[in-house]
Amino acid sequence: MASVASTYASPESRFERPSGRRDPASIAPVVLMVSGGADSAALLWLAANSTLDIADGRGEARIARERLHVLHVNHRLRGEAADADEAFVRELSESFGIPCSVERIDVAAHAKEQGDNVENMGRELRYAAADRLANELSAELGTPRSAARIVTAHTADDRAETFLMNAVKGAAASGLSSIPRRRNRIVRPLLDRSHEELCSLLRTAGIEWREDATNADTRYLRAFVRHEVLPVIRERNPRVVETLSQSCDILSDEDAYMAGIAARSLRELERRRAEGMVALDAARLAALDVAVARRVVRAAILSVEEECRLEARHIKRVLRLVAAGKGSATVPMGVDCRVSYGMLLIRSRRAPEIPDHGWLEVPALSVGALGVGEMMRSDGSVVTARLLEAAPGQDAEALARAAGAGSRSTVLLDAAAAGIGPAGGRLWVDTPQAGDVMCPLGMHGQSKKLSDLLGEARVPAAERGSVAVVRRDALGPVVWLAGIRADERGRCTSSTRLLLELGIRKA
């Protein structure tokens, strides 16, 4: 669905490899994203003839011509008009002697396939194309990818429009801070310039530009804000664009500060992490200030599904579950959020269908019948649990020793010590986590890291991360390192009457 064409330089000769030692930031490629509209045409003119601050440590400065490369993405949405835009960008780039790459992508087909709207899909595909080109050019130059710059033509008007759009839809500070000046290697040096200022620059330079007819279609939210909302606000405040831009800068700074606090809180609350899954301490999350809690939930969800388009209502729904201490909800991209037994479990569709973590039901003790609880794991093993009652005169301690001597795949423990009574209960099963310790049976209460026990048991390093760990609860101590060692605190004694049998077997 995509094709790439490059003009004015072959892939082998776009740049001459620099000789001698030079700062990579001074020679790394600069990809200019040019659509053909007034703003991007002005960006190209400024890059070729004036100074720009592209956040490479040099401030407002001229960019060496050999570093510049234009990227135009033809979305194939407007037929001949789109092809005319492409031709215009090629000609304008050629007039400045700057190489131009064109990528043609059927955005509508991609949007239909992904179940997304055309505007969002177009944006994602544009940036993906810019990333590919920046990486390719970095490889040719032998410079770090991080030193490359992808430069967009967003203006103060775009920033004000995005602020109002996000306010209409409902957004947190991160959304209201609108378009950032920089995100990783993407930079926007025109955020302090207005659209009209750039149009005047082009008129003075005698350069025409292309107009996209869809920009006037007020069925689209951005066009509605641009043509219907902002003109009304300007009647009260002619400098509204400048005012909103300043507000965006303030919100952006405060958002960065709060993001740091939320990141630390997320690390402190995180209890388990696996592919497509994260588990947080729900009680401690509920105790956080709501401003931080919102950000923690947002960051946790995005950590398992980065494409999830979250709105304030989604975060509010999850926090309601946390406050209630139970319940479940699904947010965009099918991410499942549920609170159970003191844990907020967030699971994406990418998570394995058969997880390595979850609750193991321990059935109630039944007279004349043996109820067995089972949990299937992704590696094909099954962890089992059942309750047994020591007969009058039986020594539970001796029974446990005999069970342990027969096979490491089964262990008998004191049920009460594991928090299980005659009515049954639940145990949490997952995998070894960094810093996990237990008190191995036979070591008289001395603690030891699970990683050390796995090493002593000669479990191959590649397999240690999938070994089953049975815990008293989701946040509780280890009861059994499956197939290797039980915890001393669950040891059967001569007074034990209710026994918990844990086992592990292949399905």
pLDDT bin (cut points 50, 70, 90) of residue 22 is low
**433 vs 436: CA distance, rounded Å:** 6
Region 19-40 average pLDDT: 84
Over 60: is that where the pLDDT of 3 sits?
A: no
* Crossing angle for the helix pair 118-141 and 107-114, to the nearest 10 degrees: 110
The pLDDT of residue 13:
42
What are 214's two structure tokens?
Answer: 């869809």
Tell me, what's the pLDDT at 18?
46
- Pairwise CA distance, residues 453 & 455, whole Å: 5
Q: Where on the phi/psi map is residue 114: left (φ > 0), alpha (ψ -120 to 50), or beta?
A: alpha
Domain 247-347 has CATH 3.40.250.10: no
CA distance 136 to 142: 10
Distance CA 397, CA 72 (A): 76
| Mean pLDDT on 16-44 | 82
Taking only the tens place, the pLDDT of each residue in 372-382 is 889 888 777 89
Instruction: State the CB neighbour count (10 A cutoff) for residue 206.
Output: 6
Whole-number pLDDT of residue 16: 45
Edge to edge, the sheet with strand 277-281 lists: 270-274, 277-281, 343-347, 335-340, 327-331
Comparison of pLDDT for 340 and 499, the residue scoring more: 499
Mean per-residue pLDDT, 308-323: 91
Q: Is the pLDDT of residue 368 over 90?
A: no
Strands (DSSP E) contained in 218-319 are: 270-274, 277-281
More confident residue, 363 or 274: 363
Residue pLDDT, tens place only, 84-96: 999 999 999 999 9
Q: How far apart are CA 234 and CA 230, in angstroms?
A: 6
How many angstroms separate the CA atoms of 223 and 476, rounded? 54
Query: How large is the average pLDDT for residues 99-123?
Result: 86
Query: Which has more pLDDT, 405 or 386?
Result: 386
What's the token pair of residue 300?
């946790």
- pTM, two decimals, is 0.64
Q: pLDDT class for 5, splitting at 50, 70, 90?
A: low
Q: Indicate the fold that domain 2-11+22-153+188-236 takes in CATH.
A: Rossmann fold (3.40.50)
Residue 178, pLDDT score: 86
Nearest-CA neighbor of 46 among 158, 188, 186? 188
pLDDT at 213 over 70: yes
Residue 402 DSSP symbol: H
| Nearest of 312, 355, 353 to residue 331 by alpha carbon | 312
Per-residue pLDDT, averaged over 323-334, amounts to 91
Average pLDDT, the chain: 88
Q: Where are the beta strands (DSSP E) in 30-170?
A: 30-33, 68-74, 100-105, 149-151
| pLDDT of residue 44 exceeding 80 | yes
What pLDDT shows up at residue 507?
Answer: 62
At 413, the pLDDT band (50, 70, 90 cuts) reads: very high
Dump pLDDT digits (tens) for 341-361.
788 989 898 887 667 788 899
Residue with tokens 């960008």: 89
Q: Residue 10 has what pLDDT?
A: 40
* Per-residue pLDDT tens digits for 417-457: 999 999 999 999 988 888 889 999 888 778 999 999 999 99
The residues that bridge with 504 in the sheet, in sequence order, are 383
The per-residue pLDDT for range 254-298, each reduced to its tens digit, is 999 999 999 999 999 998 787 888 889 999 999 999 999 999 999
Tokens 């956080």 belong to which residue?
288
Spatial contact of 490 and 412, defined as CB atoms under 8 Å apart: no
Q: Cα separation of 139 and 133, whole Å?
A: 10
Residue keyed to tokens 């008998």? 412
* Each residue's pLDDT tens digit, 126-181: 999 999 999 999 999 999 999 999 999 999 999 999 999 988 877 777 788 888 89
Mean pLDDT of 104-109: 88
How far, in Å, CA of 18 to CA of 142, rounded?
9
Has residue 17 got a pLDDT over 50? Answer: no
pLDDT greater at residue 363 or residue 171: 363
Q: Which of 30-44, 151-165, 236-250, 369-383 has the lowest mean pLDDT?
A: 369-383
Token pair for 194: 């207005």
Phi, psi of 86 (to 5 degrees): -60, -45
Per-residue model confidence (pLDDT) at position 7: 47
| Residue range(s) in the chain whose domain bears CATH number 3.40.50.620 | 2-11+22-153+188-236
Identify the pLDDT of residue 25.
Answer: 72
Where do you find CATH 3.30.465.60 in the chain?
247-347
Most confident range, picked from 15-19, 397-401, 477-481: 477-481
Give dist(CA 120, CA 118) in Å, integer.
Answer: 6
Q: What is the pLDDT of residue 463?
A: 82
Is 465:431 a contact under the CB 8 Å cutoff? yes
